[in-house]
Structure 1
């Protein structure tokens, strides 16, 4: 929750003092209010108390596995979660994004790049929560901007609260209802120009959205993959081309 003239409140979950100092200094100089949690239990408490606008999460913590903590945080808050870690294997990236992270940056890192990612996530979050944002719909799917909810009307109607990245990606699919959107266009619009070629991000989030929009996510008929081209959200069921 933004405080005073601050650009926003950032909760940094990091146990190493040198990284705590580095992150606090750079974020504060940029204009953010910074709170530090040195372990997972403190982080969970501060999410309730501080109501941060963004979270920066190290995966190696002394008390709680970072991947487990990421999932817990995602159930507690819809704000952007940026993982900052020394773990640089693709399997770690996949596991973190599957657990609810919105972004993944490895150590050693560029403070300028981290700040750019924080700015981008907060800017997108503010724009998508604007009361002037239009409602988007495609067949049985509708987005509610005021609450960042997806309404799915397949048989009985149900409502799903989306994370910031899920919201942006679903918004692109609804905006181009029944049209195939190229992979690179989706990456550019949802994550930004620096994410061209990061197809793993896209695959993971499409898989998550299919859990919401498909009667059988293993056999998608609404959110369809077109191999080598991109994805499309259809207003009526189709056969997958993947």
Structure 2
């Protein structure tokens, strides 16, 4: 399910993105999965936010770096950067991080979020 919502709060409307069981504010803030807030370091959180925004499409290694750090890296360095952040994300959300069902590797491209 791909839903974008606006929620009123005391500071005005907040744009919310919901993809499957992931929920996040479009402008940042916490990311929720299965109703619980995901606690991640800032770079890993930025990578997860990029995956949520683009789900179910794949996000390239380079795009994950751009979203997390605001810089461009070559493909090899970007792949290495993404690997460590995705490992951290999988540890936080996957029932079995060694057999992921949520954050899926797309060989030669990057990663995608399974939101079905």
Equivalent position of 2:29 in the other structure: 148
Return 5+ residue gaps in structure 2 as ranges.
1-11
Aligned counterparts of 2:16 and 2:55: Cα–Cα separation in 1: 13
Worse-matched range after superposition: 176-185 or 142-151: 142-151
CA-atom RMSD, angstroms?
2.5
Q: Deviations over 1:91-123 (max 9, x none)?
A: xxxxxxxxxxxxxxxxxxxxxxxxxxxxxxxxx
SS of corresponding position for 2:96: coil
Q: Summarize the Cα distance change of 1:148–1:174 in structure 2 as closer, same or farther, 3 Å threshold.
A: same
Task: Pick the structure with greater CA Rg.
Answer: 1
Aligned counterparts of 2:67 and 2:88: Cα–Cα separation in 1: 18
Equivalent residue for 1:183, pick from 40, 43, 61? 61
Equivalence map 1:83-232=2 (5 Å): 134-144=15-25, 148-153=29-34, 157-197=35-75, 198=77, 199-232=79-112
Aligned counterparts of 1:172 and 1:136: Cα–Cα separation in 2: 11
Residue 133 of structure 1 and its aligned partner are, at CA, apart by: 6.3
Name whichever structure is richer in strand by fraction: 2
Q: Deviations over 1:114-150 (max 9, x none)?
A: xxxxxxxxxxxxxxxxx87632222111125788322
SS of corresponding position for 1:171: helix
Q: TM-score, normalised by structure 2?
A: 0.73
Name whichever structure is richer in helix by fraction: 1
Residue 200 of structure 1 and its aligned partner are, at CA, apart by: 1.5
Q: TM-score, normalised by structure 1?
A: 0.38
Kindly indicate whether structure 1 or structure 2 has the higher relative contact order, using CA contacts under 8 Å at least 6 residues apart.
2
Aligned counterparts of 1:169 and 1:215: Cα–Cα separation in 2: 19
